[in-house]
Structure 1
Amino acid sequence: MDDLASAHRGATKRFIFLLLPNYSAMTFAMAMETLKTANRMAMGTPFSCVVCSEGGVPVTDSLGAEYPIDHGLEDVSRDDIIVICSGADVRKNCTPAVLQWLRKCARQGCEIAGLYTGAWVMAEAGLIGEEAITIHWENRNSFAEKFPDVELSDYTYTVRNKRYSTAGGTAVIDLLLTLISEAESPELANLVADQLMYTNIRVLQHSARVQVAERIGMRHPKLSEILALMETNLEEPLRPGDLAKTVNISTRQLERLFRRYLSATPKKYYMDMRLQRAQHLLLQTSMSVTEVSVACGFNSSSHFSRLFRARYGMSPHRLRGEPEKG
């Protein structure tokens, strides 16, 4: 804990929450609680939160309650993160004043996030470029019809080019943990997740392997290169001999490296990577089990399901809370 406090970068990152009428109370509360927990675990104030609304007037959330408003649509700093909190009826809340303010924030270089249906407001303001964005599943069809040139992601949250989005639910915690990790440290993000009893840290699960590869790369660049090859060839896995040949070592040397540094065979480690990627896709996308199995290099969905069950103690369908297939 002391190490985390001393490692705090000094400058406070400000999150400005824009509340629109009938915004998702759960989404907003989870975002605020995650940042509040981060400050407590960091033993400082790496993050501050400001709540605004059009005209600075109270806004009723999806539960019929009101949260105190700090101010209206005032000037911001380029280092601020604007967080749009909206709800199911987002279309009628894209007022000219809100859209104009968001465009001004974007021109100043602010990062902008849309929670739940906030991506709709971002698209209406013309703030989305080539980056893919996500939105709550109930709004996907109408969004695609309204904004045919905007790419919709199957993921529950997106992070790219200072534009962030979530599809609602607990995905907001995933996004905030990512932003905490980038602004401060992965260690702080993990501490926050522990405090929130959020053991299913999907983004950190996905990035943990990269962190391991980077640490190993400091000691053995060849192995780091091999792990990177594996990571980028999950849909069509490479054979151990091909991996070894690519980095100019023998297959026997390859096996020795994996035993020494990873305590596993190349085949087993590769399989774990593919199954972990499958878990990531099952939790974060709407892809079918068959599509996930193909994306992770399995020719048979039944074979994939057996391996997944052996690795995680449950079938892919059960992980999603879906009925088991016969």
Structure 2
Amino acid sequence: MLSFACAIEPLRLANRMSGQPLYDWTLTSETGAPVACSNGVAFAVDSDLPVLGRDDVALVCGGIDVQAATTKPLLNWLRREARRGLTIGGLCTGAYVLARAGLLDGKRATIHWENQDGFEEDFTDVALTHSVFVIDGNRLSTAGGTSSIDLMLKLIADDYGDDLANAVADQLIYSSIRTDGDSQRLSIPTRIGVRHPKLGQVIRQMESNLEDPISPAQLAQEAGMSTRQLERLFRRYLKRSPKRHYMELRLSKARNLLMQTDMSVINVALACGFASPSHFSKCYRAQYGTTPYRERGTQGAAPTAEAARPE
């Protein structure tokens, strides 16, 4: 709902601040039926999937369990509109739908950080970034949440100038406009609540090497300390060992892959640095209280897709 509202409101405010109907939008769903967000709020829509005008922009807004909502009629509609040269974008997990339709092949794109592990495994022809939003030709994508605001402010600025975009941002009380060069996640020091350069360096190394884990000795060497110093550093600031922290990062990625892809449990284990499926299953159960095989039955309800179009 947040991604959706943050896409619509800047357009409404652009009309209000300019005193002109610069943009209009139509809400659509696959069947024309109302659309419910994951928080239970439902929206009436204007139509089912329409034939759009040549200058329209189609935006697909996705949420939890987007795979289940990515239907054949929706994919066919997107491919048809893409063949006609339309600009098409994905808000939050809507980028998954575009990728499934083949509309992001050879393109740069982004998606919510929680979905990036599965996206990278499924769509190797897409240049996935960690940016807040991406504009690559006539393909748009956002990371979700408030990043829809940043994308819309960029489009408004391109269409009608920075002054109008800044006026819209002021109305939204949005004081820090982000660009496509900004990362969607908080910095490592902010996330862990510790500003220690060597600790941040080691964690960054861990996060970048989940499939082929680096030994504590090598991590310590690259950070310019002994293994014992590394151990003390993690115990002091994170109340756990480097090995335990590394394991939690790998298991978190494994959980994302299990929930978001059709990869076999064995392949998920390998992608997260576990050579033995039995060891993977044992570690997973210890962390999450269930086995990898049972985890796939706990996915959330499917979202819906909507399309918005500026005039």
**Residue 324 (1) aligns with residue 195 (2):** yes
The one-letter code sitting in structure 1 at the alignment partner of 2:58 is I
Within the candidate set 164, 167, 174, 1:191 is matched to: 167
Q: TM-score of the superposition, structure 2-length normalised?
A: 0.60
Coordinate RMSD, CA, aligned = 1.9
CA distance in 1, matches of 2:105, 2:126: 8
Q: CA deviation at 1:195?
A: 0.8
Aligned in 2, Cα 1:197/1:130: closer, same or farther, shift over 3 Å? same
Q: Deviations over 1:104-148 (max 9, x none)?
A: 111111111100101100000011132211111111111111112
CA distance in 2, matches of 1:322, 1:91: 34
The number of aligned residues is: 197
What residue in structure 2 maps to residue 151 of structure 1?
127
CA distance in 1, matches of 2:90, 2:63: 11
Q: Deviations over 1:183-224 (max 9, x none)?
A: 221111011011111110122xx8xxxxxxxxxxxxxxxxxx
Within the candidate set 104, 112, 124, 1:128 is matched to: 104
Structure 2 counterparts to residues 8-47 of structure 1, below 5 A: 25-47=1-23
Aligned in 2, Cα 1:36/1:321: closer, same or farther, shift over 3 Å? farther
What residue in structure 1 maps to residue 42 of structure 2?
66
Residues 142 and 148, structure 2, Cα contact 8 Å, conserved in 1: yes
Q: CA deviation at 1:35?
A: 0.9
What residue in structure 1 maps to residue 210 of structure 2?
none
CA distance in 2, matches of 1:37, 1:322: 36
Structure showing greater relative contact order (alpha-carbon pairs closer than 8 Å, 6 or more residues apart) = 2
Residues 113 and 130, structure 2, Cα contact 8 Å, conserved in 1: no
Residues 77 and 108, structure 1, Cα contact 8 Å, conserved in 2: no
CA distance in 2, matches of 1:160, 1:142: 21
Q: TM-score of the superposition, structure 1-length normalised?
A: 0.57
Q: Deviations over 1:132-171 (max 9, x none)?
A: 1111111111111111221111211101111010111111
Structure 2 counterparts to residues 296-311 of structure 1, below 5 A: none
Structure 2 counterparts to residues 172-251 of structure 1, below 5 A: 172-203=148-179
What residue in structure 2 maps to residue 277 of structure 1?
none
CA distance in 1, matches of 2:11, 2:160: 12
CA distance in 1, matches of 2:173, 2:121: 38
Aligned in 2, Cα 1:123/1:116: closer, same or farther, shift over 3 Å? same
Q: Deviations over 1:50-73 (max 9, x none)?
A: 000011011111111111200001
Q: CA deviation at 1:287?
A: 9.2
What residue in structure 2 maps to residue 112 of structure 1?
88
**Residue 57 (1) aligns with residue 25 (2):** no
Q: Which runs of 5+ in 1 are unaligned?
A: 1-24, 207-279, 290-316
Q: Which runs of 5+ in 2 are unaligned?
A: 198-311
Q: Secondary structure at the match of 1:98?
A: helix
Q: Secondary structure at the match of 2:108?
A: coil
